Structure 1
Amino acid sequence: MIQQSAPVASDLSAAGSGIPAVRPRIALVGVHGFGQQHLANLARLEEAGAVELVRVADPNPPEAGRLAGSVAIYNTLDELLAAGPVPDVVILATPIQTHAPLALAALGAGADVYVEKPPVASMAQFQELLAAAESAGRLVQVGFQSLGSQALLAISNTIESGAIGDVLGLSAQGMWLRTKGYFKRSRWAGKRSLDGVDVVDGVATNALAHAVATALSVAGAHTIADVDSVETDLYRAHDTQSDDTSVIRVRTAAGKTLLCALTLCAPEQEHPSVTVHGTRGDITFFYTEDELVITTPDGERREAFGRTDLLENLIEARKSGSPLLSGLADTGAFTCVLEAIRAAPEPRHIGPEYLSWEGDGDDAHPVVHGIAGVIGRAVTAQATFAELGLPWARTVPPVRTFAIDGKPVADYQDGSRVRAISSPRPYLHPVRTLAGTVVTDHQPLDHVWHLGAGVALQDVDGINFWGGRTYTRAAGEYIWRPDHGRIVRVGSADTDSPDSASPVRASHDSTSPERDGRLSETLAWNGPDGASVLYERRTWGWAAAGDSAWRLTLDFALSPAGDRPVSLGSPGSNGRTGGGYGGFFWRFPECAEATVWTPAGTGEAAVHGSITPWLAWSGKFTGGAATLVFVASEGTRDPWFVRVEGYPGVGQSLAWDTPVIAEPSAPVRRSVTVFIADGILGTHEVERLINQRGKQS
């Protein structure tokens, strides 16, 4: 033992006599790092007469004079506990991998415990510690300080009041930066394990663990039973074992979805937040500031709140039996997240081409290119980095890849990973030129329900198969409604029954197996209740169209699933002037120097709403210049829907300003051809491509 002076008599006599100490006697294990915060808080509470710090333990003792002379100093917790009467509360501010064994020792000696986050390094440790606390009849408080915020009650009350409408989902965002030196501060920093022992350090389990724990609490997920599933998508830019840029998606037993997007590779430190997304507005909680921002159609309201100190809460619980604000059992949901991260594959390294390093030496820190937009896009779409298709992320295998001469030109996605309120459906993305330039986007930040190239409608007998808000004539605006449908594959389009066992039929021309192909299928358009409203027969075809272009064709037919007509509509048919989108739609990625034209005019104003045989779009995409030519079927009267300024997209409006009726005996049929060419083409070259199609058909 290292001791500045003998322990004061009150430390010994009160405990030895069986008379309860007037002030709880506190021992602190770990006086450096976050232990310094505990020392400052203990000094505050001692001055108020609420506690008495009697002992500390740390193999690296505090500076002389840092503690009062009455405080005994030990090298280890074992020495501290063996030295005499057991303290009332033991605070653990030690490395992650020591939390469980030290907490077990303190509980076994008869002390209550305050343990820093994360409380344990595995689910097995959590179960053992929880059982030990229950067996000993002792309390364990976990240091998620934000759970003491009085803003949490205000969030709950605001949700219950209906001020933000129905809850669509929850998210947590954290953009911090950490330097090389941060990971050199101790042997365990940045480690998943150390000397064979679990550590599970990382952005979600340690640095920004409060974001995860706070978001879980707001979502009503406290115990293990409150969690239905946890998905992880882990990455690292630093030369560490642990993740520093990750998405964690939690689905609760109550049916809520929480998406946490976190990084330690931001250009600058920002206040992390938890947001509740509602149909009428959002509640954003900046938990480090204890500040709420409530945004509704009525405006924005900001309010700051106080916070209950967790040590004071523990002391009160010891005295009156009141509940702990961050008790061990109520961190079971967080431990489910930690366990999922512990069991996940090692984080994928983010390549240097996607990073910039700022600063020098140990002060250097990586910045993931465009990370702020990536974080925003992930939480808005409730999607992982892999699902967003980021170039540095893991690849989510498509259902199928279309290829020409061995070159992949389009990936077919079934939409099963798309959030429910984006109306999940099959689509193509990425679509590429023969040179590899990507010319589609999906789940972009401005409209996360835009999905590559495919078919979607916003009003099918009142069901939204487009995603996002619904425009209604009654409201005269876009509103959130629980009206989102889902389009799923159910059978082969080459059979008469939608219940065919084969969901897809793909074929190639036997004379040129690598130059073209076809994918045919039957799709069910199911409403929110799961009942089918429409059946669709869809066929994709692809073929080479020269050395620098290829041709994509889409044919689809929509038939009522029952014996009555079905109305197919759009915002335009519901009263929004110029908003007749729906049917075939192509979402472009960011495009510089975009030009859109038809045989009759150039520019968005000239071509939007026009009825012409073809429409062309050219511009410079991330991978190079490209031109796309959209060719209408002969005799079509569907106007072109075009956006250039707000976002880049082209569609063929199935119901521009009037609903189209699908009859049981008369399906609604549509067809479109798209030429995807490298380079910037002129009108003469566009027409030559189209004429070439005519000669080949």
Structure 2
Amino acid sequence: MDTRSTWSITNPTPPGAAPAQSDPTPDRTAPARIALVGVHGFGAHHLRNLERLGAEGTVDLVAVADPNPPAAGALPDTTAVHANLDQLLAGNHHADVIIVATPIQTHAPLALSVLAAEAHLYLEKPPVASMKDFLRLQEAAGAAGRSVQVGFQSLGSHALAALAKLANGEAADELPTIGTLKGISATGRWVRDRAYYKRSRWAGKRSLDGVDVVDGVATNPLAHAIATALRIAGARHAEDLASVETDLYRANDIEADDTSVIRLRTINGLPITCALTLCATEPVEPYVTLHGTEGTAVFHYTEDRVTVATEDGETTHTFGRDDLTENLLQHLSGGTPLLSPLDHSGAFMRVLEAVRTAEAPALIPTECVEWVGTGDQAHAVIPHIEDILERATRAHATFSELGLPWALPNTTGTEALFSPEPGLDYPATTLRSGSKLETNLSPRPYLHPVSTPAGVVVTDHLASDHVWHLGAGFALQDVNGSNFWGGRSYRRTAGKYLDLKDHGRIEVAGITREEGRTTLDLEWFGADGSLVLQERRTFTRTVSSARTWRLDIQTRLTAVVDVTLGSPGSHGAAGSGYGGFFWRLPVNGSPRVFSSTAEGEPAVHGSVSPWLAWTGEFDGGTATLVFGSPSESEDPWFVRCSGYPAVGSALAWDAAVELAAETSLTRSNTVWISDGTLDPKEIEELVAGR
């Protein structure tokens, strides 16, 4: 509770109220009388901090309570030692402030007892283990007229004032602007070994003896990541959040989550995605990222360090920090606003409540987890977790939506592309509607995963380098000024890519299935919501051999109004004429890209040929993709190999295509998907039978 106080901190009773204890005469110069409940774990940090403040003459540690008392000599001789809070309160120590640093499940009853004794309260995070207890605690603090500071230490950072300016589109004194804020993410990559979960009965528990604990990665070890992101977003109260989604997993033998995505959206529509794990390869200081139209700001909150990256370079500044205990004392003596008042933990408690009431975290299969070390020092590592967290935060996607092999299947907006045919075992191909994608990814339908007959996956989506690259599909970066590709838009007038609010979306209006054929009726809506194109996209599958199958993709675009179909190339970006058919491949080893007339990325990029082939070592085996050029037009190939793996057929390579209202344009592409390698002769035979 953020209650302004004008009486001495040595007298916790406001004027006009009956004293709860026999109070000393108010004296603003006397040290504040502090009691500490819980001297181990994070309580040991409070002991060290109180020792510092005691040496400065700011506080007097009058009593501690812990069933396991501290070692001899760890406390001042004048400090009383009790086994529990009840004994401490009965000791008549006249504590101005009581600090509670005990196991999570004890926070609510102990905090209520402190407030009933009319002492002010410093409560470690998370404040309590349920929203019900949080509301009870708020009511008790209000009734007692006492202040409650919650121990989210990062909220004492001076960087928050600068980050608030950046979030508002302004420059700070120490940092340049990042433009308009698009979203916020929090990333935590820590390591916890088996010993960590054996240190106490409540470690890693969702509940203990019927009492909520909620000791998961998002609500305890990396709770600061979420609390800090919420504070920067201006979300303090539960009602400041429009939605909370959880995607919870565990690699360890525990009840709670150790690897999770928490996806939030504020009532103002700002996305906040927190991707957190205790199963990293090695620990890294956690950070919160502000994503702006002109750059990013990365806040390493444990170090109070902010790095802003823009096209002009990087700027780093390390800020100071206010101690939350000192802030509470200044609040009580002089009315300084609390930095982490209980009332401002409402949004965090909304997150905790969502985690508490969610289905139990899904166990990650053992084959998807590596163990490093032996015995109690062994810790779980999820392979590629660093890149996975980056994908999740950049795309504001859950692990399930990323389609990870260990994640729960995503059943929203995904379905088999083709109807099953009795007696035939075709490779699985998944159609995704893309309807839940963020607006700046230009939501649209696409295929992923697409596999070879042996099951080798040869598409990728939501890659950390270009999160708007979506499997296999058809998209354009400029249709009458609307971006249906995702990401930034290249504009000739600026001579560079710009982060604009110009993204359109492609929606599925209908699906028709026949044997071996699926047809989508699609509608292209511009950034202003108007319908600009209608599309009929037809997929046909054919088995070529035991190791090769063929996918034909025909697109017919019909203009609803007069349209101009463009690309970065048509806007003046030489060699960047992408747009139209596009296939994003996963990272693969020893890639070879070639056509009937050229070999290697520099030679095939921008060339025109009947086919283009890609062979590589994919996760699961060697595979070859052969792309047949559209039969209607000699569109140049767009190829990337060194920076990221992708192939496209460029509809508007260096000049826009004009399409009058009620007229149509058709492109037919073929892809042969094969296990192993194919030599040019085998490829020519496939293409000849097209």
Band the TM-score falls in, shorter-chain normalisation: over 0.9
- 1:489-500 paired onto structure 2 within 5 Å: 489-490=508-509
- 1:58-97 paired onto structure 2 within 5 Å: 58-84=66-92, 86-97=94-105
Q: Is the 8 A contact 2:632 2:666 kept in 1?
A: no
- 1:296-695 paired onto structure 2 within 5 Å: 296-397=310-411, 398-402=414-418, 405-490=424-509, 503-508=510-515, 517-562=516-561, 565-693=562-690
- Alpha-carbon shift at residue 634 of structure 1 (Å): 2.9
Equivalent residue, structure 1, for 2:239: 225
Equivalent residue, structure 2, for 1:200: 214
- Alpha-carbon shift at residue 10 of structure 1 (Å): 12
- Match of 2:340, SS? coil
Q: Is the 8 A contact 1:630 1:675 kept in 2?
A: yes
Per-residue Cα deviation, 1:359-379 (whole angstroms, up to 9, x for no partner):
222211122112222222221
Equivalent residue, structure 1, for 2:114: 106
Matches of 2:548 and 2:360 in 1, distance apart? 40
Aligned residue type for 1:75: A
Aligned residue type for 2:511: V
Q: Is the 8 A contact 2:631 2:668 kept in 1?
A: no
Matches of 1:53 and 1:261 in 2, distance apart? 39
- Match of 1:16, SS? coil
Aligned residue type for 1:439: V
Q: Given the superposition, is the C-alpha separation of residues 433 and 540 from structure 1 closer, same or farther in structure 2, using an over 3 Å criterion?
A: same
Matches of 1:65 and 1:631 in 2, distance apart? 80
TM-score normalised to the size of structure 1?
A: 0.92
Moved more, 615-624 or 106-115: 615-624
- Match of 1:642, SS? strand
Counterpart check, 1:16 vs 2:31: no
Aligned residue type for 1:485: G
Per-residue Cα deviation, 1:218-262 (whole angstroms, up to 9, x for no partner):
111111111111111111121111111111111111211111111
- Alpha-carbon shift at residue 422 of structure 1 (Å): 1.2
Matches of 2:371 and 2:60 in 1, distance apart? 46
Per-residue Cα deviation, 1:202-224 (whole angstroms, up to 9, x for no partner):
11111111111111111111111
Per-residue Cα deviation, 1:165-196 (whole angstroms, up to 9, x for no partner):
11121111111111111111111011111111
Aligned residue type for 1:646: G
Identity of paired residues, percent? 54
Q: Is the 8 A contact 2:21 2:92 kept in 1?
A: no
Matches of 1:530 and 1:139 in 2, distance apart? 49
Equivalent residue, structure 2, for 1:148: 156
- Match of 2:608, SS? coil
2:189 counterpart (171, 175, 178): 175
Equivalent residue, structure 1, for 2:174: none
Equivalent residue, structure 1, for 2:131: 123
Matches of 2:623 and 2:288 in 1, distance apart? 40
- Alpha-carbon shift at residue 17 of structure 1 (Å): 4.9
Q: Is the 8 A contact 1:174 1:273 kept in 2?
A: yes
- Alpha-carbon shift at residue 602 of structure 1 (Å): 2.2
- Match of 1:269, SS? strand
State the superposition RMSD in angstroms: 2.0
- Alpha-carbon shift at residue 15 of structure 1 (Å): 5.4
Equivalent residue, structure 2, for 1:139: 147
- Alpha-carbon shift at residue 611 of structure 1 (Å): 2.1
Matches of 1:297 and 1:637 in 2, distance apart? 36
Equivalent residue, structure 2, for 1:274: 288
Matches of 1:559 and 1:14 in 2, distance apart? 79
Matches of 1:561 and 1:122 in 2, distance apart? 53
- Match of 1:37, SS? helix
Aligned residue type for 1:296: T
Aligned residue type for 2:129: A
Q: Is the 8 A contact 2:180 2:293 kept in 1?
A: yes
Q: Is the 8 A contact 1:661 1:668 kept in 2?
A: no
Aligned residue type for 2:100: L
Matches of 1:385 and 1:124 in 2, distance apart? 29
- Match of 2:285, SS? coil
**Structure 1 gap segments, 5+ residues each:** 1-8, 491-502, 509-516
Matches of 2:390 and 2:273 in 1, distance apart? 11
Per-residue Cα deviation, 1:586-623 (whole angstroms, up to 9, x for no partner):
11111222222222222222222222222222222111
Matches of 1:98 and 1:566 in 2, distance apart? 65
Q: Is the 8 A contact 2:511 2:518 kept in 1?
A: yes
Matches of 1:52 and 1:645 in 2, distance apart? 64
- Match of 1:620, SS? strand
Matches of 1:423 and 1:679 in 2, distance apart? 34
- Match of 1:467, SS? coil
- Alpha-carbon shift at residue 443 of structure 1 (Å): 0.9
Q: Is the 8 A contact 1:16 1:85 kept in 2?
A: no
Counterpart check, 1:166 vs 2:180: yes
Matches of 2:603 and 2:310 in 1, distance apart? 36
- Alpha-carbon shift at residue 147 of structure 1 (Å): 0.1
Aligned residues: 663
Q: Given the superposition, is the C-alpha separation of residues 689 and 322 from structure 1 closer, same or farther in structure 2, using an over 3 Å criterion?
A: same
Matches of 1:10 and 1:677 in 2, distance apart? 80
Matches of 2:298 and 2:593 in 1, distance apart? 40
Aligned residue type for 2:541: W
Q: Is the 8 A contact 2:259 2:277 kept in 1?
A: yes
- Alpha-carbon shift at residue 440 of structure 1 (Å): 0.4
- Alpha-carbon shift at residue 85 of structure 1 (Å): 5.4
- Match of 1:449, SS? coil
- Alpha-carbon shift at residue 442 of structure 1 (Å): 0.5
- Alpha-carbon shift at residue 298 of structure 1 (Å): 2.2
Counterpart check, 1:46 vs 2:62: no
- Match of 1:600, SS? coil
Q: Is the 8 A contact 1:401 1:408 kept in 2?
A: no
Matches of 2:11 and 2:152 in 1, distance apart? 31
Q: Is the 8 A contact 1:573 1:580 kept in 2?
A: yes
Q: Given the superposition, is the C-alpha separation of residues 596 and 60 from structure 1 closer, same or farther in structure 2, using an over 3 Å criterion?
A: same
- Match of 1:107, SS? helix
Matches of 1:10 and 1:52 in 2, distance apart? 14
Matches of 1:45 and 1:619 in 2, distance apart? 63
Matches of 1:476 and 1:17 in 2, distance apart? 72
1:293 counterpart (299, 302, 307): 307
Matches of 1:24 and 1:595 in 2, distance apart? 72
Q: Is the 8 A contact 2:489 2:497 kept in 1?
A: yes
Stretches of 4+ moved more than 6 A in 1? none
Aligned residue type for 2:330: E
Matches of 2:339 and 2:380 in 1, distance apart? 36
Matches of 2:442 and 2:630 in 1, distance apart? 27
**Structure 2 gap segments, 5+ residues each:** 1-9, 13-18, 172-176
Equivalent residue, structure 1, for 2:5: none
Matches of 1:474 and 1:603 in 2, distance apart? 33
Matches of 2:632 and 2:474 in 1, distance apart? 20
